[in-house]
């Protein structure tokens, strides 16, 4: 891990908008971008594809260790298959939340995440970027939004992609995932003690990005 490379760590619950904000922020700063959630979704997708029991820590950990994804031109390939859209399916997201509770999976993916720290800088989003993966991040942000706002956002995302969705089911699943993420023993989704808290319920994406960028500039970056 190259500790002299600056990191902006953005954590938050499902559908808080952290991925969009982190990606846009990385573009504006010319930094690399780490979507840590994609790694857990890739692990979950591989487990589902190969019939691995999501409660079997040893087998899920082995699956995580054997992942060799290829990120190319905005697409994600796994075992030669373009899985960019497939890993965003709700079923995969729910499975990802389950495998993310397993210490063996988190340990297997920790090195992959830290290896993304490269000059000129990194914007990383996830649920434990600031608390576990990059505890020395120069700026730590915990981005959240009301449950209803997040459910509506996820619903719109899926419908825009032509994926059928039920708002009531999404709201229920989101609440269950929040509960699992908050209470898991390994790297729970909670704010780092020194994180900047940001509720984006009433903010546009541009306003949210501008807020984080202002915090970054205030640090003299």
pTM score, whole prediction: 0.83
Query: What pLDDT was estimated at residue 2?
Result: 57
Query: What pLDDT was estimated at residue 221?
Result: 61
Query: What pLDDT was estimated at residue 211?
Result: 97
pLDDT in tens, 157-208: 888 878 888 898 888 888 888 888 888 777 778 899 999 999 998 899 999 9
Q: Other C-beta atoms within 10 Å of 50: how many?
A: 10
CA distance 50 to 46: 6
Q: Is the pLDDT reported for residue 151 higher than 70?
A: yes
Q: Is the pLDDT reported for residue 115 higher than 70?
A: yes
Query: What pLDDT was estimated at residue 166?
Result: 87
Percent of the chain with pLDDT over 70: 98
Query: What pLDDT was estimated at residue 30?
Result: 94
For residue 18, the surrounding DSSP H or E stretch is helix 18-29
Q: Find, among 55, 191, 175, 58, the residue nearest to 130 by Cα.
A: 191
Q: Is 102 exposed, middle or buried, given 0-12, 13-18 or 19+ CB atoms closer than 10 A? A: buried
Domain 7-218 class, CATH top level: alpha beta
Cα distances (Å, whole numbers) of residue 126 to 80, 129, 132: 26, 6, 11
pLDDT in tens, 11-27: 998 888 899 999 999 99
pLDDT in tens, 29-64: 999 999 998 999 999 999 999 999 999 999 999 999
Query: What pLDDT was estimated at residue 52?
Result: 97
Percent of the chain with pLDDT over 90: 60
């Amino acid at each position: 891990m190259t500790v002299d490379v600056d990191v902006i760590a953005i954590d938050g619950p499902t559908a808080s908008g952290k991925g969009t904000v982190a990606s846009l922020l990385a573009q504006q700063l010319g930094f690399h971008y780490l979507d840590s959630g994609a790694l857990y979704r890739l692990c979950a997708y591989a487990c589902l594809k190969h019939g691995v029991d999501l409660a079997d820590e040893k087998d899920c950990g082995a699956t995580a260790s054997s992942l060799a994804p290829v990120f190319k031109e905005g697409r994600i390939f796994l075992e030669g298959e373009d899985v960019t859209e497939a890993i965003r399916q709700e079923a995969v997201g729910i499975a990802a939340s389950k495998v993310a509770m397993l210490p063996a999976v988190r340990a297997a993916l920790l090195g992959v995440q830290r290896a993304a720290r490269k000059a000129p800088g990194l914007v990383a989003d996830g649920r434990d970027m600031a608390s576990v993966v990059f505890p020395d991040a120069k700026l730590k942000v915990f981005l959240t939004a009301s449950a209803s706002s997040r459910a509506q956002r996820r619903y719109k995302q899926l419908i825009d992609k032509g994926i059928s969705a039920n708002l009531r089911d999404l709201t229920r699943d989101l609440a269950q995932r929040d509960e699992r993420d908050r209470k898991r023993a390994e790297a729970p989704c909670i704010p780092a003690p020194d994180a900047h808290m940001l509720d984006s319920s009433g903010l546009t994406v541009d306003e949210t990005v501008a807020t984080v960028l202002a915090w970054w500039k205030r640090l003299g970056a």
